[in-house]
Amino acid sequence: MGSSTQIEDMTQTERISTAIERGKRVLRLEMEALAEAESRLGRSFGEAVYLISECTGRVIVCGVGKSGLIARKIAATMTSTGTPAFFLHPVEGAHGDLGIVTENDVAILLSKSGETDEIISVLEPLKRFGVKTVAITGNINSTLGANVDVALDGWVAEEACPHDLAPTTSTTVALAIGDAIAIALLEAKGFRAEDFARLHPGGSLGRKMLTRVRDVMVDESLSIVSEDSTMRDAIIKIASQRGLAIVTNKAGFVLGVITAGDLTRLMRGSDSFMDTPVSSVMNPSPKLAHQDEMGSAVVHRMQEFGIIAMPVIDGDNKLVGVVHLHDLMRAGAI
């Protein structure tokens, strides 16, 4: 019984070890294919990016089978990074969906062999419509590669499949080239994180990037005391306004802040502090937030310096509100 269990365990261990080695082999082959693709990337890539950047319409991305799945992802990546794109199935395109295409568009066509019937069949009408064409293909001398405006080299030595059949390294390379185009376009257009967030308003990133300080700050009944006030006045503000009193001058500029922590330390050091001037207790160099700042940036500063609330200033550096960490967190700025 014990011997049988031992053999079974050893067999399982060997199977796990073999699976790990096979997985490493696949990753190694795909990394090598990507390195080869990088070394082969040349002028044609720059021409493709330029062609698409000059496009006044949309980018049509077309592929069939596994290449079709990669084409969908490339189109989605472009759309989310500021380059309007859509996926066109070549078969559906040949049966009416080409009606969505205009002469101002650019088409990216994916085919490992460059001889895929469905892709070749849609190439001629695209060119007839005046659409500029880019190919990502494993054979730039193929029918597809020879008949597009720009052919990008997606050649791979072999698929990771042991039979060299299942699209693996070839689709990885095609996807990476598509990503490279999308990001090159993003950078050329000056597409910012804020722009990305505007296109993703439903996700946590969108909420984080779109939340501005002005959206969550408190701007009424602020806990303000004048520079000639005493701690008697400040205590009332600290107690009623979530642990913070802000010292300002008559022009509305922030001179300092007094927190509940400052008050506690003052009380420990003296029994008679009510008439102490706020100017001798306040922090004269407080951390301030700007009303147009991203909430996530302010959250980072609050966490870095252990701050719960922060005065908010406008473009003239005058006090306009107070922002609290908990309010920023509830708004999704973290």
Q: In this model, does residue 2 exceed pLDDT 80?
A: no
Q: Which of 6-15, 70-79, 216-225, 238-247 has the lowest mean pLDDT?
A: 6-15
Cα gap 97→91, rounded to integer Å: 9
pLDDT digits (tens, 9 = 90+) for 228-287: 999 999 998 888 777 899 999 999 999 999 998 888 888 887 777 888 999 999 999 999
Mean pLDDT lowest among 4-13, 67-76, 177-186, 311-320? 4-13
SS3 content of the chain, % helix, strand, coil (to 5): 50, 20, 30
Query: Which candidate, 239, 260, 263, 250, places its Cα nearest to that of 307?
Result: 260
Rounded to whole angstroms, the Cα distance separating 286 from 200 reads 34
Judge whether 267 and 293 are in contact, CB under 8 Å.
no
Kindly indicate the confidence band of residue 1, based on its pLDDT and cuts at 50, 70 and 90: very low
Residues 148, 132: Cα–Cα separation, whole Å = 8
Task: Record the tokens describing residue 278, joined without a space.
Answer: 């706020």
Cα dihedral 153, 154, 156, 160, rounded to 10, equals 180
Q: Are 226 and 252 in contact (CB under 8 A)?
A: no
Distance CA 124, CA 251 (A): 71
pLDDT of residue 108: 98
- Report the distance separating Cα 163 and Cα 76, nearest Å: 31
Q: What angle do CA 108, 45, 157 make, to 5 degrees?
A: 85
Residue ranges of the alpha helices (H) in 88-192? 90-93, 117-128, 143-146, 169-189
Q: What's the first-to-final CA gap in the chain, in angstroms?
A: 57
Across the chain, mean pLDDT equals 89
